[in-house]
Amino acid sequence: MALSFGIIGAGALGGYYGARLHHAGFETHFVFHNDYAHVKNHGLRVDSIEGDFSIAAPHAWSHIENLPPCDVLCVCLKSTENHLLRDQIAHKVKPGGAVLVLQNGLGIEEELAQWVHPIPVFGGLCFLCSNKVGPGHISHLDYGGMRLGSLESNPPHSLELLSRIAEAFRLAGIDATITDNLAEARWQKLVWNIPFNGLCVILRCTTTQIMQHPAGLALATALMNEVKQASHACHTPVPAGFVEKMLADTLRMTPYLPSMRLDFDRGNPMEIDAIYSQPLARAESFGFAMPLTRMLRDQLLVAQALHNHSKGHHL
Amino acid sequence: MALSFGIIGAGALGGYYGARLHHAGFETHFVFHNDYAHVKNHGLRVDSIEGDFSIAAPHAWSHIENLPPCDVLCVCLKSTENHLLRDQIAHKVKPGGAVLVLQNGLGIEEELAQWVHPIPVFGGLCFLCSNKVGPGHISHLDYGGMRLGSLESNPPHSLELLSRIAEAFRLAGIDATITDNLAEARWQKLVWNIPFNGLCVILRCTTTQIMQHPAGLALATALMNEVKQASHACHTPVPAGFVEKMLADTLRMTPYLPSMRLDFDRGNPMEIDAIYSQPLARAESFGFAMPLTRMLRDQLLVAQALHNHSKGHHL
């Protein structure tokens, strides 16, 4: 029987992948937050470089409490909100199902695994440029591939389920591949996330504005190389040529505001812990310092404190 | 006979010191730019923590061409404008006089010395918190001391003139001391300028907002320590305990926007070369890398390019 999917946090990323799955015929349930009423009335709309489509009546829920159990529970919230799932998430996975974390950063699967044991926890690295441009309205700008991997502590037979999940995404038009080393894949994603999320916040600019200035390119390259060295120190090395590939891919991208920049602009908490502090701590535990990443992390902490402060003044 | 002074660039810094000298009875000529007409009509006003005062009819000039030769020509422009002085500056110094550079950064006296040879060139490090709050209107917020030093290539007898200049400033109420190592003094000033000028631009905040956040304090401390290590590598070491003193002084300061932040907000060029690129190059010539300073410099270069770009859009 085909897998059913639950999308917790149906925003720019979760909404996009969920819509693709639904569109391909998979039973897909979406948990919306602010957009619930709008989606119930007007459906879900995806403007995509690969062709626009709409879903008139998606299975929409206003709260995880109401979500029916699914085979694959996709966690697509901001990682800053994961603690809200702690008590409920295990009950929303059907017997034989799994949790799939589609979030950025390090250390997230490990935390969720404690909450849902013995349900297997998978992780997915999404290479997707998408934005929510209105209620229930997602703009898919570029890319969209996904690398899926299994937490080492999962039972070996769960890998069969992971293959079925990847196959489902491929049937939905997503270039989903499987890695046999989730930690390595997460470090690969950090090679992009650490420079561009932070710099686009601190410099109030797009990825393209960074890439087009020689000093911006120097910043991105220096940070990427530091992350690459850290991945080696942690015995989860990114492959040779990966930094160069990420730089080239970013140069080809449509001018883009990473999710951290959007969170910052909206006054939402930024994923500083998962994307910066966890990798810093991991590298430090292997005796490797990341001075540039630490500097950017500290700049983000100050920026977030000042931004929330100034927001407070406006209220 | 008492020394006469010429102030090239009578802004927040030059205007303040010049007004003190005039107030103490020294013949002082000011070259104003935008403020010339206002000062001619309304005089020069200084609001100071040490007592407010005004000068009804200062010797004001609209251009260096009109300035009469003086004993001590104080260069108080932004260092980004020094090239404008190249052909005229030597003619504005009386026989037996000198040029005094009251600017931030490294490598400036050396450049001016080529233009005015054999006139001696001195340098002064100003520990002054002052802002221009209106045309011909300066607000002196805190501190005000000055360390004066001689370029090594000056003739030995010029040190007597330097002593007379320091004495003149002291008579004007300025705590002016003489260092026998100008390069060391310049590195000391960089210990403050490199972290706070850049961070206040990049984080859009005051010195106090940096000092009051743990991550901000960590940033300032890390940058200061890197500058300290560079000063040692260049054989012009800042003294033991200097970083700690600068941090403590900054904590006691009134919330302050450094000059680079004001330049940025006004869309003026920032002194990135003198304060960042010259020290980076100097340290590199001694085999010492400054990765944090380089990262902040590169962030400033991108910020300046984007800011000027967005200014252009508004025109």
Q: At what angle do helices A182-202 and A291-314 cross, to 10 degrees?
A: 50
Which of B209, B299, B301 is opposite residue A202, by nearest beta carbon? B299
Q: What is the pLDDT of residue A151?
A: 94
> Is residue A310 within 8 angstroms of chain B, CB to CB?
no
Give the tokens for residue A183.
């930690």
> Is residue B225 within 8 angstroms of chain A, CB to CB?
no
Q: Render pLDDT for B30-39 as a digit per residue (tens, 0 to 9).
A: 999 899 999 9
Residues of A within 8 A of B291 (CB-CB) are 222, 291-292
Residues of B within 8 A of A222 (CB-CB) are 291, 294-295
Q: What is the pLDDT of residue B1?
A: 83
d(CA B222, CA B200): 15
Judge whether residue B141 has pLDDT over 70.
yes
CA atoms within 13 A on the CB side of B111: 18
> Is residue A204 within 8 angstroms of chain B, CB to CB?
yes
> Is residue B91 within 8 angstroms of chain A, CB to CB?
no
ipTM of the complex: 0.88
> Is residue A37 within 8 angstroms of chain B, CB to CB?
no
Give the tokens for residue A40.
């119930």
> Is residue B217 within 8 angstroms of chain A, CB to CB?
no
Interface A-B: count of C-beta contacts within 8 A: 78
> Is residue A227 within 8 angstroms of chain B, CB to CB?
no
**φ and ψ of B43, to 5 deg:** 80, -170
d(CA B230, CA A263): 37
Distance from CA of B82 to the nearest CA of A (A): 24
Which of B209, B213, B291 is opposite residue A291, by nearest beta carbon? B291
Q: What is the pLDDT of residue B314?
A: 34
Q: Render pLDDT for B189-247 as a digit per residue (tens, 0 to 9).
A: 999 999 999 999 999 999 999 999 999 999 999 999 999 999 999 999 999 999 999 99
Q: What is the pLDDT of residue B288?
A: 98
User: Cβ B203–A298 below 8 Å, yes or no?
Assistant: no
Q: At what angle do helices A182-202 and A214-233 cross, to 10 degrees?
A: 150
d(CA A210, CA A202): 11
Distance from CA of A197 to the nearest CA of B (A): 14
d(CA A228, CA B156): 54
CA atoms within 13 A on the CB side of A173: 16
> Is residue B222 within 8 angstroms of chain A, CB to CB?
yes
Distance from CA of B154 to the nearest CA of A (A): 37
pTM here is 0.89
User: Cβ A299–B213 below 8 Å, yes or no?
Assistant: no
Q: What is the pLDDT of residue A310?
A: 56
Work out the pLDDT band at B307, boundaries 50, 70, 90. Answer: confident
Judge whether residue B6 has pLDDT over 60.
yes
Size (chain B), residues: 315
Distance from CA of B198 to the nearest CA of A (A): 12
d(CA A152, CA A184): 12
**Placement of tokens 């850290």 in the chain:** A230
Residues of A within 8 A of B313 (CB-CB) are none
Task: Work out whether strand B93-101 and strand B70-75 pair parallel, antiparallel, or are unpaired.
Answer: parallel
Task: Work out whether strand A53-55 and strand A5-8 pair parallel, antiparallel, or are unpaired.
Answer: unpaired
Query: Taking Cα atoms as reference points, which of A270, A108, A105, A278 lies closest to residue A193?
Result: A105
Q: What is the pLDDT of residue B253?
A: 85
User: Cβ B204–A298 below 8 Å, yes or no?
Assistant: no
Residues 6+ apart with CB under 8 A from A314: none
User: Cβ B219–A303 below 8 Å, yes or no?
Assistant: no
* E strands in B102-256: 121-134, 137-150, 176-178
Residues of B within 8 A of A291 (CB-CB) are 222, 291-292
Instruction: For residue A207, give Cα distances in angstroms to A244, A294, B174.
Output: 15, 20, 48
Helix (H, G, I), strand (E, B) or coil at A8: strand
d(CA B22, CA B55): 8
Angular region, B142: left φ>0, alpha ψ -120 to 50, beta rest: beta
Which of A202, A215, A306 is opposite residue B301, by nearest beta carbon? A215
> Is residue A265 within 8 angstroms of chain B, CB to CB?
no
B228 is catalytic: no
Query: Taking Cα atoms as reference points, which of A137, A118, A115 lies closest to residue A41?
Result: A137
Distance from CA of A230 to the nearest CA of B (A): 16
The DSSP secondary structure of B204-219, one letter per residue, reads T--HHHHHHSHHHHHH
d(CA B115, CA B88): 9
Q: What is the pLDDT of residue B308?
A: 72
Residues of A within 8 A of B202 (CB-CB) are 202-203, 299
**Placement of tokens 């890695």 in the chain:** A179
- Active-site residue identified among B92, B189, B245, B311: B189
Instruction: For residue B40, give Cα distances in angstroms to A309, B73, B110.
Output: 43, 21, 34
Distance from CA of A144 to the nearest CA of B (A): 29
pLDDT tens for each residue of chain A, 315 residues long: 899 999 999 999 999 999 999 999 999 999 998 999 999 999 999 999 999 999 999 999 999 999 999 999 999 999 999 999 999 999 999 999 999 999 998 989 999 999 999 999 999 999 898 989 999 999 999 999 999 999 999 999 999 999 999 999 999 999 999 999 999 999 999 999 999 999 999 999 999 999 999 999 999 999 999 999 999 999 999 999 999 999 999 999 888 889 899 999 999 999 999 999 999 999 999 999 999 999 999 999 999 999 875 554 333
Chain A, nearest residue to B291 by Cα = A292
Instruction: For residue B205, give Cα distances in angstroms to A90, A174, A309, B265.
Output: 44, 43, 12, 11
> Is residue B49 within 8 angstroms of chain A, CB to CB?
no
Judge whether residue B309 has pLDDT over 90.
no
> Is residue A205 within 8 angstroms of chain B, CB to CB?
yes
Residues of B within 8 A of A224 (CB-CB) are none
Active site residues of A: 189
User: Cβ A299–B203 below 8 Å, yes or no?
Assistant: yes
What is the overall mean pLDDT for chain B?
95
> Is residue B291 within 8 angstroms of chain A, CB to CB?
yes
Query: Taking Cα atoms as reference points, which of B5, B17, B14, B6 lies closest to residue B173?
Result: B17
Which B positions 172-201 lie with beta carbon below 8 A of chain A? 199
Domains of chain A: 5-180 (3.40.50.720), 184-314 (1.10.1040.10)
Which of A205, A209, A219 is opposite residue B298, by nearest beta carbon? A219
